[in-house]
Chains A and B, each alone.
Chain A
Amino acid sequence: MQLFIQQVVNGLISGSSYAVVALGYGLVFSVMRVMNMAHPDVAMLGAYSAYLVTSVLSVTILGLPTSLLVLVFLGLLLVGGITGAASGLILERLVIRPSLGKAVLVSFIATAGVGIALENGITAIFGSLPVQVPSILPTWAIVVAGIRFTPMELATLVISLAMMVGLRYYVHGTKWGLATRAIADRSDVAAACGVNTRTVSMLTMGISSAMAGVAGVTIALSQTQASPFMGLALGLKAFVCMLVGGNRHIEGILAIGLFLGVAEALISGYLSTDYRDAAAFSLMLVVLLVRPNGLFGSYPTPA
């Protein structure tokens, strides 16, 4: 039972990262009908921003008290978010906007090309080996009823959930969110009603990429490393979450992300790590067979 709960907790933590990246896919696809395959690489850029900042500060942060380290941690999250948002906006301007209105495959391949370029560009600069990122938060474990987790893991979970609650508020509680939903429903009608689709597209790309950047920072800090190809596995899992959940429902994507994380943790805990990756894809195959438009919502597809 102990092991079971421990695995569930571990799964929730890794699943929350899947959900954050999956939400980025879903949001961008809903608004722009673009499969942004460079999205996980934006998370990778966020992770490398954390690496850069910590390697510049490495000497000074060693002796700081915990309260200041928390400040440093929040600063790293901010840097990651800004990096993500900036790269997302550049991506929107250079790649996604020219491919709007064309076949889905065009943006798919163009963003995949950008992803390849980012991965290999980072490899060329920092090398293909993973770089070490210090764990900013203390590494002792919190033990609650026999369940162990580190402050970093707790922070990952809290930050992911907070970002999703914030996104949920943005989409369902603000004027810009209303515009976002209007474009997701019928972009032509929304544009005719005076919604500025270009601004909303930029906002969408900025927000989803900032979330990916922050997720990249939390992943880098909790794994204490970042590598150029860290986006591949993360992106594929998140992609599956988005497809299984359907692109429109934040809660649905969150639920699927957490479920997938828990399922993977349980499989690797009780069966074998070899079968862990099978969970995601067999789940996807079964769900798509039964509900071709995702569990919770339709992706009204243009192609």
Chain B
Amino acid sequence: MIFIDPYWNSVALEALVTAVTVTGLYISNSAGSLSVAHAALAGISGYIAAVLTTNFGCPFVVAVLAGACGAALAGALLSLLTSRMNLLVAGLATLAYGETAEVIAYNIDYIGGSNSFYGIPLHTTFSIALFSLVCALFVAWRFDLSRLGRAAVAVRDDPVAAAASGIRIHYVRFASFVLGAFVAGVGGALRVHYVLVVNPADLGFTFSLPLVIMWVVGGSYVFWGAALAAIALTFIPELLRFSTDLRFAVYGVLLAVIILRRPAGLIPRIPMGAIGRYFRRYFPAELKPDGAVRRAPGGPTSLKP
């Protein structure tokens, strides 16, 4: 236990577990899709894991993995549903998917419906959460460097060019989405084992929106940026506790200011320092997330947007 104070310990747990889920969101969205349903995927995993440990006495690790597999299945279904849609529309369809999952969870009596599912044993400790985050970041790192991850970046930056280069766009989107859903599912399963209760409302838009916010604020281009933003944005409202009433109002204003000042996120690129700047001068233009062409600092030529 690093944090002796139980209150800060629980905040830290929340931050770490959210960071795992947001890392999953990062992997899912790396091929250009936009998911507003990751709270639902994480929540499905949470329900499965909670039922397994509470009602069947499963070992914790098995339950987490089973929950994550459930989330991956749900993510696969979602990805297949949205595969032919325009990206923005697909993102909004994921919103509908998450809300539908919430309504379904409300109406399953076995998992308590609107009364929540409770009595879950406490399993997630600080060290387990930290270990899981390290594992999730490792997966994201290896994913970024893998063939699939490179293909995903190609698909995100220019689907037409990627397809012309022989990349199977739908396969890449599907595979990265499912992998991300699995990681997000690990986060969801961990979360229920320290919150000790899981509620259908946890699956809805109000819980997916913060995840998307963390992903975008983190920069959405760097695998650890999303996790860092998740930790920061979990701690900000707690650090603002000196004004109990206004802290979420301040949080909202901060969010708007951050995203307006740095539209590409806090960490828009992998910062490589002097070496990076040296090499970057040979790449005159780089793509911003909105597709406009930006002049690289110090670059010899520039393409006007």
Taking CB atoms, residues of chain A closer than 8 Å to B249 are 116-118, 120-121, 123-124
Asked if B115 is at the interface (CB within 8 A of a chain A CB), the reply is: no
Main secondary structure of the interface of A (DSSP, over half): helix
Cβ-defined partner of B252 (8 Å) among A114, A240, A299: A114
Q: Which positions in B face A, CB cutoff 8 Å? A: 34, 81, 84-89, 92-93, 95-97, 99-100, 102-104, 106-107, 113-114, 205-206, 209, 212-213, 216-217, 245-256, 259-260, 263, 289-291
Cβ-defined partner of A116 (8 Å) among B95, B252, B289, B291: B252
Q: Are A104 and B88 in contact (CB under 8 A)?
A: yes
Take A114-B252, A277-B99 as given contacts and tell me if A284 and B93 are in contact as well, using a CB distance cutoff of 8 Å: yes
Known A95-B256, A112-B209, A281-B103; 9 more pairs at CB < 8 Å: A109-B217, A113-B213, A116-B255, A281-B95, A284-B96, A288-B96, A299-B88, A301-B86, A301-B87
Q: Are B248 and A112 in contact (CB under 8 A)?
A: no
Taking CB atoms, residues of chain B closer than 8 Å to A116 are 248-249, 251-252, 255
Top 8 A-B pairs, shortest CB-CB distance = A117-B252, A116-B252, A113-B255, A113-B256, A124-B245, A120-B248, A103-B290, A278-B103
Cβ-defined partner of A112 (8 Å) among B85, B246, B255: B255
Q: Are B259 and A114 in contact (CB under 8 A)?
A: no
Q: Which positions in A face B, CB cutoff 8 Å? A: 95, 98-99, 101-106, 109-121, 123-124, 232, 236, 240, 243, 274-275, 277-278, 280-282, 284-285, 288-289, 292-293, 299, 301-303
Closest Cβ of chain B to A77, distance in Å, is 28
Q: Are B100 and A109 in contact (CB under 8 A)?
A: no
C-alpha spacing A101/B144, complex, angstroms? 29
Q: What are 28 A-B contacts with C-beta separation under 8 Å?
A: A103-B289, A104-B88, A106-B259, A106-B263, A110-B255, A110-B259, A112-B209, A113-B213, A113-B252, A116-B251, A117-B249, A117-B251, A120-B246, A121-B246, A124-B245, A124-B249, A232-B206, A240-B96, A243-B92, A278-B100, A285-B97, A285-B100, A288-B85, A288-B89, A288-B96, A289-B81, A293-B89, A301-B87
Q: Are A301 and B88 in contact (CB under 8 A)?
A: yes
Take A109-B259, A116-B252, A117-B249 as given contacts and tell me if A301 and B89 are in contact as well, using a CB distance cutoff of 8 Å: yes
Q: Are A109 and B212 in contact (CB under 8 A)?
A: yes
Closest Cβ of chain A to B4, distance in Å, is 30
Q: Are B206 and A110 in contact (CB under 8 A)?
A: no
C-alpha spacing A152/B106, complex, angstroms? 32
C-alpha spacing A86/B254, complex, angstroms? 22
Take A288-B93, A288-B96 as given contacts and tell me if A113 and B86 are in contact as well, using a CB distance cutoff of 8 Å: no
Q: Are A292 and B89 in contact (CB under 8 A)?
A: yes
C-alpha spacing A183/B270, complex, angstroms? 37
Taking CB atoms, residues of chain A closer than 8 Å to B89 are 243, 288, 292-293, 299, 301
Most chain A CB inside 10 Å of its own CB: which residue of B97, B213, B259: B259
Cβ-defined partner of A124 (8 Å) among B81, B87, B246: B246
Cβ-defined partner of B213 (8 Å) among A109, A280, A282, A292: A109
Closest Cβ of chain A to B126, distance in Å, is 28
C-alpha spacing A293/B290, complex, angstroms? 20
C-alpha spacing A104/B92, complex, angstroms? 12
Taking CB atoms, residues of chain A closer than 8 Å to B99 are 236, 277, 280-281
Taking CB atoms, residues of chain A closer than 8 Å to B252 are 112-120
Q: Are A117 and B256 in contact (CB under 8 A)?
A: yes
Taking CB atoms, residues of chain A closer than 8 Å to B256 are 95, 109-111, 113-114, 117
Q: Are A109 and B81 in contact (CB under 8 A)?
A: no
Cβ-defined partner of A105 (8 Å) among B93, B216, B247, B260: B216
Closest Cβ of chain B to A39, distance in Å, is 15
Taking CB atoms, residues of chain B closer than 8 Å to A109 are 212-213, 216-217, 255-256, 259
Taking CB atoms, residues of chain B closer than 8 Å to A113 are 213, 251-256, 259
Most chain A CB inside 10 Å of its own CB: which residue of B96, B206, B250: B96
C-alpha spacing A95/B100, complex, angstroms? 31
Cβ-defined partner of B260 (8 Å) among A110, A288, A301: A110
For B36, give the chain A residue with the smallest CB separation.
Answer: A108
Closest Cβ of chain A to B213, distance in Å, is 5
Taking CB atoms, residues of chain A closer than 8 Å to B263 are 99, 102-103, 106
C-alpha spacing A301/B87, complex, angstroms? 9
Taking CB atoms, residues of chain A closer than 8 Å to B217 are 109
